[in-house]
Structure 1
Amino acid sequence: MKNQLLLLMALAISVSVTGQKKELKAAAKALKKGKYSEMWTPLNAVGPMFKDMDDKYKGEFLYLKAKAIYGKGMDPKKDVKVAKAFTELVDFEKTQKSKKYSKEAAVVISRIVKKTAEDGSSAYKDAKYNLAAEKFELVYELSPLDTLYKLNAALSYYNNKDYDKAIHLYQDLLELGFTGIYKEFKAKSVVNDEVLYYNSEKDMNSQVAMKIAKDPEVKLSKSKTGDMVRNIALSYIAKGDNEKALEAISKAKVLFPKDAYLVIQEANINLGLGNNEKFLQGMKDAIALNPNQPELYFNVGVITMQKGYDEEAMGYFQKSVELKEDHAESYMNMGSIILGEASKMQEELNNSFQDFKKYDKLLIKRNKIYKRALPHFEKAFKYRQKDEDLMKTLISLYQRLEMYDKEKEVKALKDAL
């Protein structure tokens, strides 16, 4: 009886395998004739048997199913299903160390990925951020090596104010160790010096060799880590969760201890929360990590000035303009600090109104202060020639210092605005 049962099982398996071969052959025949709808009857017949199917037939089944979905390839509404079907086929063949169908599948997937990415970009440009995010996520799902599209999806969700989804994707990227750094290949056109960008170093060197381009350059792009952490933090802030925002940055700083941008974002959040001391210390830490960034010195100078440490603030503003000569705000703040000395004299001037000698000496002293402040405002004006408030300050100083020609000149510029 036992042997009879084994025989029946063997016969059942034999019939099953024979049936699979027959149905797959029928589907392949329909494919060859271009009768895609007729492929589904045999495919549906063997589909439930897929788990128990012999591996050599699984690949064929997945291929035929993908081709049945794809059809003539003229229906863009099927693109997602088609790409997922071909991706399933490629993934299976990887487990079998086979490439029988993968080359054809890769061509179809690549076309759909490219089209989906273009659709995502168009939606983003049209500010349809939710649609853009969905398209970019699909690109990443179909092509996991294209991690940048997951970043694009996160940014799209962030712009759509869908903060929970944005946070989730950004955190996934950080856990993956994604930095967004890539090689950038660029050169200049020999015709008009326009900057040209290339997909590879080979393409760039080829155009240089043909004397179409010159001055080739290979550069690494900036890390996106700071932007991701910033957007996580800003997402938490938008959700009213500043504690989580600071926590997010704190975790990122463990991974990237020398990332000045993270320190700056933490400092800015503290500033928004009114934690001026922590902001100031954070900016000083950022300067230590990135000593050639003028904005850092400027920001520290502003807070230091607000806290009344004028001499220290002057040092920060001076360093800012040493690094960036046209930093008009730093010049204006240096001038304002010096003018503050004159403001402190006003009460003494009011009390000495009856003592002409003392009053005249104080006026001379105040004019000397004005003369010290004036070059800073003039320097700022060199880079901010349409700033009305700056013009008013200069007009006032020229008037007080009896520099009437200069006063007239700036007044004319102001009236012409």
Structure 2
Amino acid sequence: MKKLILGIAIVASAFVFGQKGDVNAKLQEANKAAMDAYNAKNYTVAAPKFLEVYNLLKTNGQDDKIYMYYAGLSYALANNSDESIKIYTDLVNSGFTGVQTTYTAKEKKSGEVVPLDKTTWELMKKNSDYSDFKTEQTPSVEAELYETLTTLLLNAKKSTEALAIIEKGLAKYPNNTKLKDAQGTAYYESGNTEKFIGTLKEQLAKNPNDATNWYNLGVMQSKNPATLEDAIASFKKAIELKPDMDNAYQNLVYAVIGDDSKIVEQINATRKDKPDEATKLIDARRERFAKALPYAEGWYKAAPNNLDALTALKEIYVVTKNIDKIKDLKAKEAELKAKAKQ
């Protein structure tokens, strides 16, 4: 799972209310504390302070969920997933988009552009000391809400809940690639492999040059003996697109070789009473190892310090009787084993 990455420019609001001074004082104090903590990256302190601002506003008749959003964001950045999930879920269910209209005017004397609330902005239009009355709308954060909540739920291993949010999000944003990617992950983590495979194929139809999706498709296909050849083709495609993808080489080697321990057991069981059958099994095994050889060499080339890659290549050299090649690997094997013990 990708690391949760969040970012937003939080700016202090100018509180202009008709309430008593002590209310405004509390709001200003809480808002400043929240902003100072956020800017200092002290998200653990910022989150509850933003909630305090939200609750103070709501108590005084202004349900401004942007501060709830800031609180949820701060909780996420503080790695408090439980609280962040609660807030983001409430925001998604409420239909919050984060779209806000800002009102500004320029003070003619100073040339300063000042932010205003709507009522004051309308009144100031009659004031000759001000000009350049403008309104702007902030962009919607609704899609980001779905993306972040999905990531939080997947990180918390709540794949079923994540799927519900993803489906709701895709109903509004059907072309959202982040939600589509997350959907595949959620299907996989919830054990719904068929839907996961379907999602991978759908994504590859749109972008056939995604090496990671070809690799993931190969992994899923390799779990079913009936689609093993498809898995081999998928791993080859991943390597074609990304020649240094060592995981694809690794899985390709094992997919071509198959369950070798089982084959060795069969050879040992038939060697005495059915030598001809054992010989056929030995020849077939050697043929599979020879077929896997170039992929094992590719794996070792892509990951020269991976002991598993070296060991697999060495075993294939043994089976295919590449004695000279084995000698070349011994020194490197001793070096890697020594490092592994440190």
* Alpha-carbon distance change, 399 to 239 in structure 1, aligned in 2, over 3 angstroms: closer
**RCO (CA 8 Å, sep 6+): is it higher in 1 or 2?**
2
Q: Residue deviations 1:358-383, cap 9 Å, x none?
A: 64454333222211101111101112
C-alpha distance in structure 2 between counterparts of 1:296 and 1:225, whole Å? 27
- CA apart distance, 1:405: 3.1
Q: Residue deviations 1:204-223, cap 9 Å, x none?
A: xxxxxxxxxxxxxxxxxxxx
Q: What is the identity, as a one-letter code, of the residue corresponding to 2:188?
A: L
Q: What is the identity, as a one-letter code, of the residue corresponding to 2:44?
A: N
Aligned match of 1:160: 80
* Alpha-carbon distance change, 316 to 240 in structure 1, aligned in 2, over 3 angstroms: closer
Aligned match of 1:332: 250
* Sequence identity percentage: 26
Contact in 2 for aligned 1:151/1:173 (Cα 8 Å): no
* Alpha-carbon distance change, 384 to 352 in structure 1, aligned in 2, over 3 angstroms: same
Of Structure 1 and Structure 2, the greater helix share is in: 1
Aligned match of 1:33: none
2:288 matches 1:369: yes
2:2 matches 1:88: no
1:283 maps to which of 200, 204, 210: 200
Aligned match of 2:57: none
C-alpha distance in structure 2 between counterparts of 1:241 and 1:358, whole Å? 51
Contact in 1 for aligned 2:98/2:142 (Cα 8 Å): no
Q: Residue deviations 1:70-105, cap 9 Å, x none?
A: xxxxxxxxxxxxx65x5429x9xxxxxxxxxxxxxx
Contact in 2 for aligned 1:117/1:139 (Cα 8 Å): no
Contact in 2 for aligned 1:233/1:248 (Cα 8 Å): yes
- In the superposition, the TM-score normalised over structure 2's length comes to 0.61
Q: Residue deviations 1:225-257, cap 9 Å, x none?
A: 877434313544677865432221001112222
Contact in 2 for aligned 1:236/1:242 (Cα 8 Å): yes
- CA apart distance, 1:167: 3.5
Contact in 2 for aligned 1:260/1:289 (Cα 8 Å): no
2:298 maps to which of 370, 376, 379: 379
C-alpha distance in structure 1 between counterparts of 2:290 and 2:143, whole Å? 43
Contact in 2 for aligned 1:154/1:167 (Cα 8 Å): no
2:318 matches 1:396: no
C-alpha distance in structure 2 between counterparts of 1:363 and 1:121, whole Å? 68
- Cα RMSD of the aligned pairs, angstroms, is 4.1
Contact in 2 for aligned 1:258/1:289 (Cα 8 Å): no
Aligned match of 2:40: 122
Contact in 1 for aligned 2:37/2:46 (Cα 8 Å): yes
* Alpha-carbon distance change, 249 to 399 in structure 1, aligned in 2, over 3 angstroms: same
Q: Which runs of structure 2 are paired with 1:156-195 in the superposition (5 Å)?
A: 156-158=74-76, 159-161=79-81, 162=83, 163-168=85-90, 175-176=97-98
Q: Which runs of structure 2 are paired with 1:190-339 in the superposition (5 Å)?
A: 228-236=145-153, 242-308=159-225, 309-339=227-257
Aligned residues: 261
Contact in 1 for aligned 2:150/2:166 (Cα 8 Å): yes
Structure 1: runs of 5 or more not aligned: 1-82, 92-108, 141-147, 179-223
C-alpha distance in structure 2 between counterparts of 1:393 and 1:371, whole Å? 12
Aligned match of 1:131: 45
Structure index of larger Rg: 1
1:349 maps to which of 254, 263, 267: 267
C-alpha distance in structure 1 between counterparts of 2:166 and 2:154, whole Å? 12
- CA apart distance, 1:328: 0.9
Q: Residue deviations 1:248-297, cap 9 Å, x none?
A: 10011122222333222122222222222222222222222333221111
C-alpha distance in structure 2 between counterparts of 1:177 and 1:271, whole Å? 34
Deviates more, 1:346-355 or 1:378-387: 346-355
Aligned match of 2:138: none
Q: Secondary structure at the match of 2:38?
A: helix
* Alpha-carbon distance change, 394 to 282 in structure 1, aligned in 2, over 3 angstroms: same
